[in-house]
Structure 1
């Protein structure tokens, strides 16, 4: 659920939406890591000025924590 939302949201922000992929790795019962892979030209757009965009995505993920009890770490990486 959260990975689909983040992927669709990220595709609306970037210049190269076809290169967006989102992966989720479950670390344990209460923690998961979400990685957004994007074109290197779009990394700045995903992070935003002063980190505002990525902080908004993290805030939304924290809202999901209240529902399912899982904490999320979100990273943005450039495609190789």
Structure 2
């Protein structure tokens, strides 16, 4: 559910939304907590747009996702990387 939200959000920000790819990986930490890593691959021209000035765009996305943590108790990490061309 969160990964679909991140995909929709990033595609609306990107100038080349067809290059956006989302991959997820679930991890169980040593203390028993669950973490979902969300990796966003985007065209190199869109990396700056997704991170935003002083990291404000990615920060706002992390803030929205932190609300989901309160509901389902799972941690989330987001990574943005340039897609392999």
TM class, shorter-chain normalised? over 0.9
Q: CA deviation at 1:60?
A: 1.1
Q: Take 1:3 and 1:72, find their aligned partners in 2: how far apart are those partners?
A: 10
Q: CA RMSD in A?
A: 0.8
TM-score (norm 2): 0.90
| Equivalent in the alignment of 1:46 | 50
The runs of at least 4 consecutive aligned structure 1 residues that moved more than 4 Å come to: none
Gaps in structure 1 of 5+ consecutive residues? none
Q: Take 2:6 and 2:43, find their aligned partners in 1: how far apart are those partners?
A: 16
Q: Take 1:72 and 1:21, find their aligned partners in 2: how far apart are those partners?
A: 17
| Aligned pairs for 1:1-80 within 5 A | 1-28=1-28, 29-80=33-84
Q: Take 1:5 and 1:26, find their aligned partners in 2: how far apart are those partners?
A: 17
Aligned residues: 80
Q: Take 1:70 and 1:62, find their aligned partners in 2: how far apart are those partners?
A: 9
Gaps in structure 2 of 5+ consecutive residues? none
TM-score (norm 1): 0.96
Higher helix share: 1
